[in-house]
Amino acid sequence: MSKLYLKNNLIVLLLSIILGFILYYMNIMLPWMFGPIIASLIVVKILKLEVEWPSWLSQLGLVLLGVQIGSAFTKSVMNDIKNDFFSIVIVSVLLVILALIVSVGFQKIAKVNVETAILSVIPGALSQMLVMAEENKKADILVVSLTQTSRIIFVVILVPLISFFFQNETTTNSAVKTAHHMTHVLQVSHIMILIIGIIIVYYVMKWIHFPTKMLLAPIVVLIIWNISTGLTFTLDQPIIAAAQVIYMIRVGLQIAHLTSRLKGRIALAIAFQNVLLIICSLIMVILLSFINHESINELFLGA
């Protein structure tokens, strides 16, 4: 890496951290996700700097995010999933069917291909959907990135407002055991075992051409770890923040380099599918609540 790119990488990293802290102290949700995206846009579009973010850094961030996701699947969570398995499956299947229907309208409005429409509309965590979009050569990474990122904004604004009207319902609250931080639970030998396990599972997935292996490998390893050892943990907050920063810089740079292709119909399609998906999800869980008698609020927030 040349000194110029190293300097520019340090600039975007420093700006991402500064903006992350600003958003954090302003109590803005997901500061370590939006901070790097804003920083990348500023560096590329305003400062006109050329940035080549190392792929190994973004991959490291993705692995750490996978570890955090996998660490959440403890024995108690698995038991909760088992108890509500029918509702989870029904909601998931109906949501996928609903997203596929909405993707047809999105495809026609945005004038994109089927792969882009499906990856843009299917609900899922931002990191997972972007990895799938990158692995699918036919998908338009710009449209998928903007759509999935904007959905977070729509969800943050609309979902709490809609959920407010159902908050007086009787809900079943179970005691949630807070996991301790990784640095307080694991020894160096434990961490080495997890690293070796993730590497092995990653290469097995790579050998069988399994998608999103960089994210799924740590999830699989952590689920096995939690069930077999009982040493449950959550990543320390600084590690989670660092993982989000080094991965989301890459996403922000992709968006910054491709925004010139953003046209009005794509913006309209993004707003259309986000609002329609949230409203239709609400209607779906209301109808489903008459069948399984679950709380509308819990079903809606779960969807």
Top-confidence range, 99-113, 133-147, 288-302: 99-113
Looking at 132-136, 203-207, 229-233, 269-273, which range is the least confident one? 132-136
Beta bridge partners of 181: 234
pTM: 0.74
Q: Name residues whose C-beta falls within 8 Å of residue 161's C-beta, 6 or more positions apart in sequence.
A: none
Report, as an integer, the average pLDDT of 262-267: 73
Query: Residue 294 — pLDDT band, cuts 50, 70, 90?
Result: low
- Distance (Å, whole) CA 35 – CA 25: 12
Residue with more model confidence, 104 or 296 = 104
Question: What is residue 181's three-state secondary structure?
Answer: strand
Closest CA to 169 of 279, 296, 290, 283: 296
pLDDT per position as a tens digit, 192-244: 999 999 999 999 988 988 877 888 899 999 999 998 988 888 899 999 999 99
Q: Are the CB atoms for 241 and 190 separated by under 8 Å?
A: no
Looking at 38-52, 129-143, 224-238, 275-289, which range is the least confident one? 129-143
- Distance (Å, whole) CA 222 – CA 179: 14
Q: What is the DSSP letter of 15?
A: H
